[in-house]
Amino acid sequence: MIFLEEKNALIAKRQGETIRIEAWGKNALRVRATMYPEFSGRDWALTEAVPEQPGVRVAIGEEKLRAGDGSFYSVPLASIENGRIKAVINHSGVLSFYRDGQRILKEYYRFYDGSVTRESHCLKVVSREWRPYTAGDYQLTVRFDGNDGEKLFGMGQYQQPYMDMKGCVLELAQKNSQITVPFAVSNLGYGMLWNNPAVGQVSFGKNRTEWVAGACREMDYWITVGASPKEILFNYTAVTGRAPMMREDCMGLWQCKLRYRTQEEVLSVARKYRELNIPIDIIVIDFFHWTVQGDWKFDKTYWPDPKAMVDELHAMGIKVMVSVWPSVDRRSENFGEMMERGLLMRTERGAAQTFDYQGDCVQIDSTNPETRAYVWEKCKQHYYDLGIDFFWLDNSEPDLTKYDFDNFRYWMGPALECSNIYPQYYSRVFFDPMSQTDKQPVNLLRSGWAGSQKYGNVLWSGDVPSSWESLRDQVMAGLNIGLAGIPWWNTDIGGFMEGNVFDPEFEQLLLRWYEWAVFTPVMRLHGDREPFTIPALDDRERGGGYLHTGQPTEMWALGDRAFQIMKQGYDLRVAMKPYLKEIFREAHENGSPLMRAMFYEFPDDAPCWDLADQYMFGPDYLVAPVLAPDTFERDVYLPGGCEWEDIHTGETYPGGQTIRASAPLAYIPVFKKRG
């Protein structure tokens, strides 16, 4: 092993591999390795300029090892320190990381290198395995020893009932309802970003952790340490970016359904809310308001004067959001030009098709700057210039007919190497030009990646089913995606599919989901409600007239009892707007999520690290959702060191205890911190 020192960086070379470890932000190190002569120069999620760190120390020396005969010999050893974090690399290239002198992470290495070790070294397993493949790059596996007692959180959004990721195997791929944001927070006081948009997998095993990139040219990860999860998120968002300040006129109710088919339907809903004196902020126009996918414009048959519609909605104080998909139908007026100019995804073999819902389609190549400019110009002409305020960037993973990532290629490279960053570039089709105006972009997406928070992205949890199991999964997803640096997040209230409006059990589920959504970053009514008994408008097979529409989703849709409960919940949301502004500002300034795992606010209160069915909404409100049917009371743990006031009854409780809280159908338990 050969060690070299550069300014604030340690370089190590061995057997064709070059490793670079450098200070990158406060108490943080970036670690890269490659088998190529040079690094690619891509920073991926590490987009923010970081000040030079004072006092970085690089040491190159040696250590003594004992041979099998009992004698000792010297081998090279090097280290780099940046504040509270230190990395040590030995003569075999094995990396270990320390926080304040305590080891927090060590690469997994079981290979005989001439020294006597306590681990079984006959397994011939190395810490970084570069496996070449036909295209010329590598499949990469990076291994770390397991830490007993470790808990891991974050990693984006996965549809599972686990908040602690230790013991989980996670696919690193974007899919409908699955959002890969590969940043993990450990209870051992560190956070790690897998700074690689390749499709792959991570296994947080008890015995070892394995990160796998399906294809890449280099290894790239970033580690920081901190005294608390809040400090770790601060360091992480300092190098990947923070959310803008959320607009005040987006903090209320977003009204949405699958689907409003005509501009008159949209206006009638808005007028009804106004008649009821309920001030909604945004109304959303979902898919197939267009002719075919890729035309990116209103179907004049059912939307004859969209500008007049927008003007009337604006006069009511309502902003307008429209759905835009990245798929381009072969029948689209834009398909030929986009295909000829290379603005669409490419297939490596077989037909040029990537999506087949309601047409033979190919997705745009969002990684291509020329594509982004082309799509924005079309959407600007047909939407933005008419006064449309925001965009719903659906199918933003992108959704694919089949997830054969090895069959797709982007301007940026093979899909296996860069697919996970696609939704971030898709959001920039709109964010980059919109942010040049005086309007703060707030766009809704179904997917994102590390750093997406800085591009005005509101992520939502995808087309999830209307079930109690799904509701529980969404709470886990919201807490973990916040710990991965994404503070703007929401769900379809009541779930997207399989909710029957005439089923009393669904009514209870919807109300519990709604009561929880009051205390989430964005509150949005949506769904494809059953039964599908509403006749189509026409049978043209072009435009949106022939597609079905679901039952109503509006606050009054399920009758007076549900309406009164929902109105009461929304009145509470409106009254909380000053507090919402405070916690959105905190997300903007220090990276804190709005939905916070209990340990985020109470890291020294041991029970808080094991609580997954309650959380803090900002620093002051403890929220305990009802996650099972026919449940009208539940246990709530109140952390110590303060008192807690039940916001519904006014009763006050000392902290440091578990209480049995009332949860009538009209509300869920919520407590405000006092003192």
DSSP, residue by residue, 516-578: HHTTSSSEEE--EEEP--SPPS---SSSSTTS--PBP-STTTT-HHHHHHHHHHHHHHHHTHH
Q: Residue 116's CB: how many other CB atoms inside 10 A? A: 12
Q: Bridge partners of 33?
A: 19, 219
Matching residue, tokens 């307008």: 320
Say how many residues make up the chain: 675
Structure token pair of residue 14: 């061995």
Using an 8 Å Cβ cutoff, are 497 and 465 in contact?
A: yes
Amino acid of residue 264: E
Tokens for 241, please give them: 């970016």
Helix H or strand E segment including 469: helix 468-483
77-87 burial: b if 16+ Cβ within 10 Å, else e: bbbbbbbbbbb
Neighbours of 394 (CB within 10 A): 23
Task: Output the six-digit token pair for 598.
Answer: 């209990």
Contact yes or no for 180/173 (Cβ under 8 A)? yes
Helix (H) or strand (E) holding 267: helix 263-275
Positions annotated as catalytic residues are 394, 397, 463
Contact yes or no for 420/374 (Cβ under 8 A): no
- Those residues with Cβ within 8 angstroms of residue 404's Cβ, 6 or more apart along the chain or in another chain: none
Buried residues in 496-510 as b, exposed as e (16+ CB within 10 A): bbbbebeeeebbbbb
By the 10 Å C-beta count (0-12 exposed, 13-18 middle, 19+ buried), 599 is classed as buried
Task: Give residues with Cβ within 8 angstroms of 214, minimum separation 6.
Answer: 139, 198, 199, 200, 405, 406, 416, 417
Rounded Cα distance between 250 and 27, Å, is: 35
Count Cβ atoms within 10 A of the Cβ of residue 128 and give its class: 0-12 exposed, 13-18 middle, 19 or more buried.
Answer: buried
Kindly tell me the burial class for residue 132, based on how many C-beta atoms sit within 10 Å of its own C-beta (0-12, 13-18, 19 or more): exposed
**3-class DSSP state of 470:** helix
Alpha carbon of residue 223 to chain centroid: 19
What crossing angle do the helices spanning 560-575 and 504-517 adopt, rounded to 10°?
10
CA distance 94 to 90: 6
Contact 97, 85 (CB under 8 A): yes
CB 343 within 8 A of CB 365: yes
Burial, 346: exposed, middle or buried (Cβ in 10 Å; 0-12, 13-18, 19+)? middle
Residue 568 CA, chain-centre distance (Å), reads 30
